[in-house]
Structure 1
Amino acid sequence: MPDKLVLGLDIGGTSTRAVLAAPDGHRLGTGRAGGGNPTTHGAAALTELSAAVRDALADVDPGDVTGAVLGMAGYTKLDADAALRDAFHQAWGATGLRCEPQLVSDVLAAYAAGTPDPDGTVVVAGTGAIAARVRGHRLDHVADGHGWLLGDLGSGYWLGREAVRAALRDLDKERAPSPLAAGVLTELLGTAELAPRRRDTAAALVQAVVKAPPIALARLAPLVLGFYDADDPAAVDLVQRGAAHLADTVAMVREPGETSVLVRGGGLLTNDTPLAAELSAAIAVSWPDTVLRPAGDAAAAAAWLAALPSSPDPAALHSALLAPTGF
């Protein structure tokens, strides 16, 4: 068995993925489990994190792992919660791993999932939205990521909220709902049929939103993108405004005309979506000579970060680890 094995984890709120790799980038094991982020789900989530690790280590001695990087949103919260921090380290030790885990932002992992370059920029849009400048494989300047109440402009949550607001405007103006508005009514109320008094429909729509967790509005994002593809003007306007917000956030961390790599991450930007296309067009205007790359497997990128200090050829290792797989 090769020595100096490395482990990478992508720890999210809904899923946790692990990749075990040899120094040459050969994958030796993978693991997958449910949401393992203890900063969002508490100590109970550590069961999922441990399950993903154990699956990845199924065929090796955990003592052979000499480095581990964990990409996780809000990881700095562990420093402020002694009980949670102790539970994390106890769960880590119980897996048999003896190496000290290095926790990094999921934003940095997303950047590394798109490029081996030490310097560049990353923009992420999923449920939330954030952008960051990276220097020497470390976050140097971060913008937005302020959460659904105060920020995350251009995110899935933002798209969902703006779609509901567009539907409410149609109701308030007593005009026929746009296709997007009708889709919102159907999704949240079960029907696009209006009550005799439009104000009653508006009130029902508001109640449907406030009864659910605010972040649940992000589930409307695919609806918005679908109506964009159907050329609904309301949806096209919304997606274009979302892309403009994301480009503005990028501009906070990136110099005009900069040519370094720019990685786009998060489900709304790594997939072939209208938001990704609109953002790419906006990026081309402000940074015409930049290289725009989609983020790949963040768990493999975390393993690459773990191997980076001792790798003689980081670019080749990155290519080996980040080659497309079914994982």
Structure 2
Amino acid sequence: MAPTPLKETDNKQPLLLGVDGGGTSCRARITDLDGNILGEGFAGSANPRTGLDLACNAIMQATREAMSKAGLEESDLGRIYAGLGLAGVNQQKERELVLGWGLPFASIFLETDAYAACMGAFNGNDGAILILGTGSCGASLINGEMKTLGGWGFPISDHGSGASLGLAAIRYSLLAHEGMKPETPLSRDIMATFDNMPENAVAWQDSALPRDYGSFGPLVVEHLSKGDPLAEQLIQESADDAAMMIRVLHQRGANQCALVGGLSEFVMPWLPEDVATIATLPKGDAMHGALLMAAKLLCRKRVAIPMQPFEHF
């Protein structure tokens, strides 16, 4: 969406900044108090647990890119009210480090990226989210109280995630290669990536990261569209894991659970009937949620943040 130019009379009005900062990327969006998007920016990792300076510099890089697109200058930083949804700030130590770093905003509302995602998914109302990306994590926001579920990392947790999907696909393919399971086009394609040599898979796993396991997800999805029985089995297992978490989030008081992340659109059609009516797609993204957080800093009824279409990343 093209930025809306500021009027000269608006150069002293407060502005809102929403930041969605994860372990891979940081996105920033600036709006005026009427919700007009003035500019957006992008930068690298903004998880303070992997480097405070790296994270805060990423926030500022994404913010300055958004400011540049909005026609703003450095002097405008002092009228920006920032909602920061960052990975890694669920610990008090990291929260204090970020707040003490010296970010040059008028005021800061700092919470986790899951909190911002919950806020955005239901436009500030109660609800839950289930993130199904390379990793997985559930979160609910009920009456202002945030609770998380799972997300303890791969391979011991992250059920229903892309990494877990990739691991299951490789495990089955090795069994099929040795005649212990029926081969399918998917299992043969997976083994072909290792030159049909289990020894190569063993060497690969010694340095493979969760994202490397998750890189097999597109191959599973490709074969799913062709009716491959292994792909269908794997997606059903992911859906069953997702349903397990959705049920608990529902028991905690969430009437709806928004599925977000790259796997969500493929998992949703495979959910069991008892959770299919609970699962939904988000109304807005985490930047939208972060802007709602920023608006709370002003406590003004006239602050209106229109929802933007949610995009999968």
TM-score range, shorter-chain basis? 0.7 to 0.9
Task: Decide which of 118, 124, 131 is 1:124's aligned counterpart.
Answer: 131
Aligned to 1:63: 78
Residue 39, structure 1, aligned to residue 58, structure 2: no
Aligned to 1:146: 152
Mapped to 1, the partners of 2:254 and 2:113 lie a distance apart of 24
C-alpha change, 1:175 and 1:211, in structure 2 (3 Å) is: same
Task: Decide which of 282, 285, 288 is 1:297's aligned counterpart.
Answer: 285
C-alpha change, 1:322 and 1:105, in structure 2 (3 Å) is: same
Mapped to 1, the partners of 2:93 and 2:288 lie a distance apart of 25
Q: What secondary structure is seen at the aligned counterpart in 1 of 2:215?
A: helix
Aligned to 1:197: none
1:6-53 Cα offsets, whole Å, 9 max, x none, are 211011222211011122211122211122323235533433222111
Q: CA RMSD in A?
A: 2.8
Within 5 A, what are the aligned runs for 1:81-96?
A: 85=97, 89-90=100-101, 92-93=102-103, 96=104
Task: Decide which of 7, 10, 17 is 2:27's aligned counterpart.
Answer: 17
Percent identity between the two aligned chains: 27
Residue 158, structure 1, aligned to residue 146, structure 2: no
Q: In the TM superposition, what is the alpha-carbon distance from 1:300 to its structure 2 partner?
A: 2.6
Residue 7, structure 1, aligned to residue 17, structure 2: yes
Within 5 A, what are the aligned runs for 1:94-109?
A: 96-99=104-107, 101-109=108-116
Q: In the TM superposition, what is the alpha-carbon distance from 1:324 to its structure 2 partner?
A: 6.5
Q: In the TM superposition, what is the alpha-carbon distance from 1:176 to its structure 2 partner?
A: 6.2
Aligned to 2:270: 278
Q: Say whether the 8 Å CA contact 1:260–1:291 is kept in structure 2.
A: no
Mapped to 2, the partners of 1:126 and 1:295 lie a distance apart of 18
Task: Decide which of 199, 202, 207 is 1:206's aligned counterpart.
Answer: 202
Q: How many residues align?
A: 296
Q: TM-score, normalised by structure 1?
A: 0.80
Runs of 4+ in 1 over 4 A off after TM superposition: none
Q: Which amino acid in the other structure matches residue 241 of structure 1?
A: E
Q: Say whether the 8 Å CA contact 1:170–1:181 is kept in structure 2.
A: yes
Q: Which amino acid in the other structure matches residue 13 of structure 2?
A: D
Q: TM-score, normalised by structure 2?
A: 0.83
Q: Say whether the 8 Å CA contact 2:48–2:88 is kept in structure 1.
A: no
1:243-283 Cα offsets, whole Å, 9 max, x none, are 11011011122129x783321112222xxx3223223xx2x
C-alpha change, 1:108 and 1:8, in structure 2 (3 Å) is: same
Q: Say whether the 8 Å CA contact 1:261–1:293 is kept in structure 2.
A: no
Residue 186, structure 1, aligned to residue 192, structure 2: yes
Mapped to 1, the partners of 2:77 and 2:181 lie a distance apart of 64
C-alpha change, 1:40 and 1:230, in structure 2 (3 Å) is: farther
Q: In the TM superposition, what is the alpha-carbon distance from 1:221 to its structure 2 partner?
A: 1.2
Residue 134, structure 1, aligned to residue 144, structure 2: no
Q: In the TM superposition, what is the alpha-carbon distance from 1:233 to its structure 2 partner?
A: 0.4
Aligned to 1:28: 38
Q: Say whether the 8 Å CA contact 1:113–1:322 is kept in structure 2.
A: no
C-alpha change, 1:30 and 1:138, in structure 2 (3 Å) is: farther
Q: What secondary structure is seen at the aligned counterpart in 2 of 1:294?
A: coil
Stretches of structure 1 lacking an aligned partner (at least 5 in a row): 195-200
Q: In the TM superposition, what is the alpha-carbon distance from 1:159 to its structure 2 partner?
A: 0.5
Q: Say whether the 8 Å CA contact 2:48–2:87 is kept in structure 1.
A: no
Q: Which amino acid in the other structure matches residue 266 of structure 2?
A: P
Mapped to 2, the partners of 1:278 and 1:308 lie a distance apart of 38
Mapped to 1, the partners of 2:202 and 2:170 lie a distance apart of 9
Aligned to 1:265: 260
Stretches of structure 2 lacking an aligned partner (at least 5 in a row): 1-9
Q: What secondary structure is seen at the aligned counterpart in 2 of 1:123?
A: strand
C-alpha change, 1:287 and 1:248, in structure 2 (3 Å) is: same
Mapped to 1, the partners of 2:39 and 2:254 lie a distance apart of 36
Task: Decide which of 100, 110, 119 is 1:112's aligned counterpart.
Answer: 119
